[in-house]
Amino acid sequence: MAVKSSGQLAMTEIVAEFGGDAPHAMSEYYGGGDKVPAGANPNVATSGMTKFGDFYDAVAATVLTISSNTSNYNIKTAAVAAGGDQNTPVILTINNGVTVSSSSNSTPAMKTDTGWGSGVTINITNNGSIVGANGSAGSNGSASSGNPSSGGGAGGHGTEPFSNTLNAGSGSAGAAGSGSAQSGNNGANGSAGGSAFEHSQTGDNNLSVIFDTAGTRTGGSGGAGGSAAAHTTKGNGGGGGGNGFESFNWTHKGGGGVTRGGGGGGGANGGAGGARAEYDGANYGGEAGATGGATTGGLGGRSSRQVSGCTYCSYTGQRAGSGGNLQQAGSSGHGSAQGTSAGSGGSAGADGTANGSAGSTGASGSALAGNTGQIS
């Protein structure tokens, strides 16, 4: 309550404020002794002669006033700096218009700290604001892309000879890209807001915090979640078209000749190369197309050439269409002079896209945290 500030004082009034056992003496109430906190009572002598008038406005507590904006306020640190100790009650006033804030959402704007004696009381008159720090926003996801695991288009087959009705098999299209978003495409969660006031000491120590005036006590806002980004899986390559059958005249040794179709190359990401053309089971067919690689299409096979009066001349004809690289169509095979068409290249597979998830907003900070059962 504090001793009165004027008029005649009696020893009983000093005893009522600071306690003590009879018989009483003025030396029992030296400042900084067991009963009179020195920091709150600068007029009370610490030794030597003392008089009743020195005890005007004396109070059995450490008196603290926050008169300008501050952050991360530690009541214990402030009380000790003011000459008090942790066995002495504290009377704390936050002036009008003053804000006590925090530099981090992991640190409350104001806290009691620990180590207080059992039964100590902290009375707070909050005429200003105690405000926790806001949480930080989560980072945004990063866009990414990758190659598909398999599925390039197969190359077209080569055409058999001696039939104007057969066409070389066309290269089939590459499969569409597919896949799921990666963890890096997800937005990070926002962090939680910080607390305004924290009672740091456990209930076993019976430190009581009393807000005589509550004022404004606001926990920090939670940070916004980061936005999601897309992961794109590239489309596979289309298969190459097979070569057509070709009949021709060649004056070499007066003979005529035929060209048997070669198979088209497979599209990127494992597309199978097309088969060669054969005639009556004889090993006169054109080359088979090569299988596609991880990112590059396979090479188309050459067509064979058979010339009358000439030993079989292997793989001297034109190449069939090559498979397409990643995200590209396969090329067409070669057509026939006799009218048998070659296969066209397969189209590239479509790119596939999958989005990550957005981060969530962090929780709002608490106005009162810690041992809230001891706050009133």
- CA–CA gap between residue 37 and residue 83 (Å, rounded): 7
Sign for the CA dihedral angle at 317, 321, 326, 328 comes to positive
pTM score = 0.69
The answer to whether residue 171 sits within a structural domain is no
- CA–CA gap between residue 325 and residue 322 (Å, rounded): 9
Could you tell me if 375 and 237 are in contact, meaning their C-beta atoms sit under 8 angstroms apart?
no
**Total domains in the fold of the chain:** 1
The answer to whether residue 231 sits within a structural domain is no
Q: What's the alpha-carbon Rg for the chain, to the nearest Å?
A: 45
The answer to whether residue 122 sits within a structural domain is yes
Phi, psi of 259 (to 5 degrees): -120, 125
The answer to whether residue 217 sits within a structural domain is yes
The answer to whether residue 212 sits within a structural domain is yes
- CA–CA gap between residue 250 and residue 209 (Å, rounded): 109
Q: Given the structure tokens 């005249």, which residue do they identify?
A: 249
The answer to whether residue 149 sits within a structural domain is no
- Beta strands (DSSP E) in the chain are 62-66, 70-71, 73-74, 90-94, 99-101, 110-111, 121-126, 129-131, 144-146, 197-199, 208-213, 216-218, 230-233, 246-249, 256-260, 304-307, 352-355, 368-370
pLDDT in 10s for each residue of the chain, 376 residues: 689 999 999 999 999 988 888 899 898 999 888 788 877 788 999 999 889 999 998 888 888 999 999 999 999 999 999 888 898 899 999 999 999 999 999 999 999 999 998 888 899 999 999 999 999 999 999 999 999 888 999 988 887 665 544 556 788 899 888 888 999 999 999 999 999 999 999 867 789 999 999 999 999 999 999 999 999 999 999 998 888 876 655 444 344 566 778 888 899 999 999 888 776 555 566 789 999 999 999 999 888 776 555 444 445 678 899 999 999 999 998 876 555 678 899 999 999 999 999 999 999 999 999 999 999 9
The answer to whether residue 218 sits within a structural domain is yes
The answer to whether residue 113 sits within a structural domain is yes
Which H helix or E strand runs over 14? helix 11-18
Domain that holds residue 45: 11-136+191-224+362-374
